[in-house]
Structure 1
Amino acid sequence: MLPPILQKLRIPVVGSPMFIVSGPELVIAQCKAGIVGSFPALNARERDGEPAMLDIWLTRIAEELDRHNQANPDRPAAPFAVNQIVHRSNARLDRDIEICHRHKVPIWITSLGARVEVNEAAHDCGGIALHDIINNAFARKAVEKGADGLIAVAAGAGGHAGPQSPFALIQEIRDWFDGPLLLSGAIATGRAVLAAQVMGADLAYIGSPFIATVEAHADPAYKRMICDSGAMDIVTSSLFTGVSGNYLAPSIRAAGMDPDRLDRADAETMNFSDASAKPKAWSQIWGAGQGIGAVRDVVPAGALVDRLAAEYDAARAAVPRD
């Protein structure tokens, strides 16, 4: 059974946190539209000596959602989530945990490592902790360390995608885990959201379609490339971060490289000490998942959620019933 905080969403969708792309504007728009909005804590950056931007962002999100709820008591906003990169190179982790704890962030999403103390901090302020994993072994470790729910990142997902079929991954996890389970991987339509539930997931975890939204912190050319590309334009490579991820081939070509002849990099090269997972020379190499063939226009995030909701309702109505 889902925890209460995830039970009253307009549709069973969490907007996934995207490096650089996700900020307060997108999160607020997603939450107002009725799905969970999220952002990586590391996206909130400030110069030395300036107030913590994460503190400023969380204050803004909470205040704007509170104003929305007061004005729309019959249509309250969905909760929001903050993603913590739990990697040894993330020098900000302890500070960001303290800020999120102080703001009582309702949903914590952890990536690249499961840490007991992060889950405990989430629970101590009344939140829940979801951990993203790419295989069943990592799923078991995350639950053992106190995660309340799991995000199964399957083949075809944007960012640091796993190699396994969603059918296999969800099946293996559901053999032993009956808690909250989200699925990530090429989900870009309401029909796909329903399919994720039929497979055994509780909610869909959607990222790439939200890159092509008005509120996303993405280069206009990036948004346009999402709209103009499809599954065949996605390349899987470990070169850019040290961990296997999915990227837009046209952006790799624009950087002067052949997407079919990329070197590999080791996970030891991953470094979040400066809030960046790749060198500046690769800053215009853009990630995306295989579901982008369903994205054709740059639209407000609310309009995208409207489309997903209409498709989801239509798909449910079309399912044969005895």
Structure 2
Amino acid sequence: MLPPILKNLRIPVVGSPMFIVSGPELVIAQCKAGIVGSFPALNAREKDGDPIQLDLWLTRIQEELDRHNQANPDRPAAPFAVNQIVHRSNARLERDLEICHRHKVPIWITSLGAREDVNHAAHDCGGIVLHDVINNTFAKKAISKGADGLIAVAAGAGGHAGPESPFALIQEIRAWFDGPLLLSGAISTGRAVLAAQVMGADLAYIGSRFIASDEAHAEPAYKQMIVDSGAEDIVNSAYFTGVPGNYLMPSVVNTGMDLALLGTGDPSKMDFGSASAGHSDKPKAWSQIWGCGQGIGAVDAVEPAGAIIDRLAREYAEAKAAVSAL
């Protein structure tokens, strides 16, 4: 069962928070177009002595969405979400939790750790918590610690993706959990959004498709590489951050590295204390080694996020009509 805040979206989609790439411009565009927009709290960074960027970003997002809603009462914006990296290397976590609590962030997405105090902070300000998981064991742990919903990060997803088939992962979670369930993994079309729902998910979780958007904080070369690449251009490796992730193979090759020589990663070396997570003697994910999922074969141009969502909505409606006709 979906909580009210996740109902009445234009299409059942959450734009996933992408490290470095997601910012206020993308979130605002996604929400105005009718899907949940999100960003990692760690993307909002400032130099010592400067105003706190997370506070400024949240104020900007809330004010712009409020203006949109006042001007468009018949087409209000979707809610937004903030992603918290719940990992011991995130020294900013407590500060960022306080800021999100003060701004009454409506949707909290948690990653790399399930903590009761984080869930309590979200609930205390009226928010809900969606926790991303890569297997059924982690899913049960997250719900036992108070998360409201789950994001099943299956094989083919961008960034730190799990190894399991979406069919297997959704099936196992749905065997015991009837709450909000999102699916992440190579979803780039409206037909894939409907397929995720038929499989048992409530909403689709889409990230890589929005890297090639005008509003994304990504280098032009990164966006163009998304357009030029397909599923066969994705390489999975734990070498860069210590946890298996999916990356654009051409970006690895561009650093001069030999793909055949990539070693295994060390989870103890994970570090979210800087914008470029990774080990100091390696090319940095995500600034040099670009994360991406396997669904990018559907991407053929860099365009505004609103246009991407318009296309997803058309494809979703067409897919529903086609399935109904079977």
TM-score in same-fold range (> 0.5): yes
Equivalent residue number for residue 152 of structure 2? 152
Any idea what SS the aligned residue of 2:261 has? coil
Equivalent residue number for residue 48 of structure 1? 48
Separation in 2 of the partners of 1:260 and 1:272?
Answer: 27
- The alpha carbon displacement at 1:217 in A equals 0.1
Any idea what SS the aligned residue of 2:83 has? strand
Any idea what SS the aligned residue of 1:110 has? strand
Equivalent residue number for residue 17 of structure 1? 17
- The alpha carbon displacement at 1:259 in A equals 2.3
Asked whether 1:39 is paired with 2:39, we answer yes
Equivalent residue number for residue 306 of structure 1? 310
Separation in 2 of the partners of 1:120 and 1:127?
Answer: 9
1:29-178 equivalences in 2 (<5 Å) = 29-178=29-178
Q: Residue deviations 1:76-111, cap 9 Å, x none? A: 000000000000110000000000000000000000
The residue type equivalent to 1:300 in the other structure is: P
Question: Which shifted more, 241-250 or 258-267?
Answer: 258-267
The residue type equivalent to 1:317 in the other structure is: A
TM-score in terms of structure 2 length: 0.97
Any idea what SS the aligned residue of 2:26 has? helix
Separation in 2 of the partners of 1:6 and 1:82?
Answer: 15
Q: Residue deviations 1:21-70, cap 9 Å, x none? A: 00000000000000000000000000011111000000000000000000
- The alpha carbon displacement at 1:272 in A equals 1.3
- The alpha carbon displacement at 1:321 in A equals 5.3
Separation in 1 of the partners of 2:153 and 2:202?
Answer: 14
Separation in 1 of the partners of 2:306 and 2:181?
Answer: 24
Equivalent of 1:315, from 293, 316, 319?
Answer: 319
Q: Residue deviations 1:228-261, cap 9 Å, x none? A: 0000000000011110000000000000012233
Describe the shift of the 1:135–1:316 C-alpha distance in structure 2 as closer, same or farther (beyond 3 A): same
8 Å contact 2:20–2:275 — kept in the other structure?
no
Separation in 1 of the partners of 2:20 and 2:108?
Answer: 18
The residue type equivalent to 1:157 in the other structure is: A
Equivalent residue number for residue 284 of structure 1? 288
Q: Residue deviations 1:161-195, cap 9 Å, x none? A: 00000000000000000000000000000000000
8 Å contact 1:154–1:184 — kept in the other structure?
yes
Equivalent residue number for residue 269 of structure 1? 269
Separation in 2 of the partners of 1:308 and 1:269?
Answer: 38
Any idea what SS the aligned residue of 1:246 has? strand
Separation in 2 of the partners of 1:316 and 1:7?
Answer: 18
Any idea what SS the aligned residue of 1:130 has? strand
The residue type equivalent to 1:306 in the other structure is: D
The residue type equivalent to 2:98 in the other structure is: E
The residue type equivalent to 2:131 in the other structure is: H
1:137-286 equivalences in 2 (<5 Å) = 137-278=137-278, 279=280, 281-282=283-284, 283-286=287-290
8 Å contact 1:90–1:275 — kept in the other structure?
no
Structure 1: gaps of 5 or more residues: none
The residue type equivalent to 1:145 in the other structure is: K
The residue type equivalent to 2:201 in the other structure is: A
Any idea what SS the aligned residue of 1:70 has? helix
Separation in 2 of the partners of 1:116 and 1:153?
Answer: 21
- The alpha carbon displacement at 1:274 in A equals 2.7
Give every structure 1 segment of 4 or more consecutive aligned residues whose post-TM-superposition deviation is greater than 4 Å: none
What is the number of residues matched between the two proteins?
322
Separation in 2 of the partners of 1:268 and 1:109?
Answer: 23
Identity of aligned residues (%): 79
Separation in 1 of the partners of 2:196 and 2:210?
Answer: 18
8 Å contact 2:27–2:38 — kept in the other structure?
yes
- Alignment root-mean-square deviation, CA: 1.0
Any idea what SS the aligned residue of 1:45 has? coil
Structure 2: gaps of 5 or more residues: none
TM-score in terms of structure 1 length: 0.98
